Amino acid sequence: MPAQLVVGLGNPGPAYRETRHNVGQAVVDRLAARLEARFVSRGPDRVAATRWADQACYLAKPDGFMNAMGPAVARLLGDLGLEPAGLVVVHDDLDLPFGRVRVRHRGRSGGHKGVASLIAALGTDRFRRVKVGIGRPERKDQVVDWVLTPFTPAERGELPGVVERAADAVLELLGARPDP
């Protein structure tokens, strides 16, 4: 069975590390810890090679901004010799309440600009996603600020459990890979 790639979406640099938009990268970091995998530089990206369910898999944090993540992920897939069917993307979702985790096997972007960039760059929506709910601000004009701010203290208390559930969902997907 071919290897699989798990990508945590987010923005680069320490200024964004603790923001809602970077929860996908937090999940990939947790997976690396659980699977005892170490990130190394692979071009501009951080990639960890590991195994799960008796197959090779890669964990990646592409170096790029969320809304233009598609080309970086397409490049990683190409470099690793993988198809989009072997991809699992972990990302934040405004339309889910904080803490909810949802798995999708395909579909439109749902307004998520990072996912829209992936669909455009890959030419398909046939890749798996683990969506992590970050809730929605009160007003629509607050969305940009909302995704780029840290979680509240109460949310930070719950976040480790949310990240664990999302990591469990990724591992379940990796162990039950659908046919392309």
Question: What amino acid positions are annotated as catalytic residues?
Answer: 21
Residue 19 · residue 70 · CB < 8 Å: no
Find where tokens 């701010």 sit. Answer: 149
Q: Which of 168, 48, 26, 179 is nearest to 106 (CA)?
A: 179
Q: Which of 60, 48, 124 is nearest to 88 (CA)?
A: 60
| Strand ranges in 9-151 using DSSP code E only, listed in sequence order | 40-42, 45-52, 55-61, 87-93, 101-104, 128-133
How many Å apart are CA 157 and CA 12, to the nearest integer?
24
